[in-house]
Each structure stands twice: as C-alpha cells, then as structure tokens.
Chain A
Amino acid sequence: MENTGFWIKNEAGQVQFKGGKNDWSEAAEIAGSCPHFLEDYEGEIVAEEARSCYNCRFRRWTAASFVCLKALKE
C-alpha cells in the first residue's frame, strides 16, 4: 500500500482513509476543506459533525474504513 498523508492507496488502487471508522476529528477536518463534500441521505449519517467524510455521499464503506470515490476520479 502507498501511504499519502491521511490516505492509503490500497491494492485495488483505491484511495482509502487511514483513520478507519473511528477517527471522527480527522474525518471532520478533511471534509471541512473538501470541495467535493456532499452530505448523504439522512439515514446514512453516522458522525455528529455534519461535515465529515463519514457523512459524505462519496465515501464508500469498506469492512475497516472507507474509500473516497471523488479522490478516485482525480
């Protein structure tokens, strides 16, 4: 895996969040300055911070973390 700051590039070439599913502050900080952030449907909101990668429509959950679907396209 390639290590780039908050993110890891996994074997499938996907950009995966390094903080797993419980790094709430990091996920909020990243989303705070992300131009792609879009809040997901209400039923899929998990973080208390409204603006968080964990609440973003473009995060795809994995067993241990999530991959960013917008980062994939860049």
Chain B
Amino acid sequence: MKIYVGIDDTDSIDQGATGESANQLIKLIEERRWGRCQGLTRHQLLLDPAIPYTSHNSSMCFTADLEAVYLPSLIKEAGRFLEQNSAPGSDPGLCVAVEEHLERAEELIAYGYETKVRIMTKAEAYGLAGKLGVHLSEHGGTGIGVIGALAGVGLRMTNNDGRFQGKLKLKGPGATMSVAEIKSCSPVERVQSLAGRILGDDEELRLGKKLKTVLLNGKRTLLVYRPEGEPGWETCTNRHLEDY
C-alpha cells in the first residue's frame, strides 16, 4: 500500500531540523524492511507572526510503499521516534495517510492549500483527520505540529508543491549533460524551464553549483533557465527555487 507520512515541528532554534528527523524516519522504515520510501519534500506554510513556528514554518512529507501488516508498527515507532528525538521545546506532530483508504483526498489537498493562507487550529486538523480516517498524533510540547504534519501530506498530494530534500550528485558545476543522461543516473523524471517548457531527452544543459528538484505535475523536476548573455540552459539556483 502507498502511504504518506507528514511530520512537523521537531526542531527548536538551537537544535534539530525537521528534514533530518524525516530522513531518520525513512532510514528506520527501510532498515526494518517495512517498505521502500520515496523522496522527501519540504512544503512552505503561512508566515504569520501569530504562528509559533521556529524559523521557516515548513513541514516535511515522504511517501512509502509499505507492507500493510507493518502499518500499526510504523505509526507506533514513528511516534516514539519523535518523542525521543525531537528537540526540547518542540511541538512535534505526525500524520500517516493510506492512499487506498482515503476517499476524499480533495479535502486534504484543500486543507494543505489553506495552511498557506490562513492560521489553522489543532481542532480543525484533528477534525479533518478524524473525518477522513487519517492518522494524526502529537508527540510533545503543545503538539501544534499536527497542523503542519497534516498540511504536508495534503500538499504532497497536490503533486505540485514542495522542494525535494537533498542535492543531486551529477557532474561538477559547469559540466554539460543531456536530459537523457540526467534522467538515467538520477531520480530526475523531467527537466523543465521556469516558463514551463519541458526539455526533450536530446537537449543539453549546464550544471550549476547546487542541484535541487521540485515536485511539479507529479514528477521530480529539475528546473532550468537561460542566463542572460549566455547560450543554452542552466540549472536553477537556490534563489529561483525559493518559492517552490
């Protein structure tokens, strides 16, 4: 079965990072052979002074192909992991949604988008999770991380939100590669310009310093642009990807 795992608020200003917590959870699932996990994405939520986020109010989500029998163990162990490994003073939340059990994914997606524009409450998060049959639990502090954990899953389900965590390991900066080459030796599924043009397999591009991918149209996408005064395509910089 395909599951979505969302976590949020596992860090404090001095300690931890929710992305690192998510990577450790992925490692735990795979080491125990419960299933295979796919890319970890970061989703930006609303920036508002009234929200008690640490520094960026983003949540994390990954998907996994899981043996159904391990679902209760995963939920229990993930909760325990967050309780034992989250930073002191953090407010961790965990969400686990089973795709085949979710009949109204559009409500979860709408919730995800809403967290980008409105301050949400824990009661709303628990209310929706209960209604949709999605696991949602808190594991320390105020537990307010349940809001972002649920939102992370909803936003991942849009197939059009978030940056994948980690950098691609291809050739060095300045090297040229074809789209086909990149796809064959990395998790990249599509190469696309900022304006939305999908590059063909035989087209070439120059690699920049840091190679990051985003989730667009359900594909792990490497974005490129045409630098002023230079020929050809080049991979986007961190600055280009800030809004994804």
From A41, A47, A59, A62, give the contact of B238 (CB < 8 A): A47
Pair A46/B238 contact, Cβ less than 8 Å: yes
Whether, in the assembled complex, B103 has its beta carbon less than 8 Å from a beta carbon of chain A, the answer is no
Given contacts A41-B19, A42-B19, contact A60 B54 (CB under 8 A): yes
Pair B163/A43 contact, Cβ less than 8 Å: yes
Pair A57/B42 contact, Cβ less than 8 Å: no
Pair A47/B47 contact, Cβ less than 8 Å: no
Whether, in the assembled complex, A8 has its beta carbon less than 8 Å from a beta carbon of chain B, the answer is no
Pair A63/B17 contact, Cβ less than 8 Å: no
A-B contact pairs, 25 of them (CB 8 A): A12-B49, A21-B242, A24-B239, A40-B55, A42-B19, A42-B165, A42-B166, A43-B163, A43-B166, A44-B58, A45-B210, A45-B238, A46-B242, A47-B238, A47-B239, A48-B209, A57-B55, A58-B55, A59-B55, A60-B54, A60-B56, A61-B47, A62-B49, A63-B47, A69-B13
Task: Give chain A's interface residues, CB within 8 Å of chain B.
Answer: 12, 21, 24, 40-48, 57-63, 69
Task: Give chain B's interface residues, CB within 8 Å of chain A.
Answer: 13, 17, 19-20, 42, 47-49, 53-58, 163, 165-167, 209-210, 237-239, 241-242
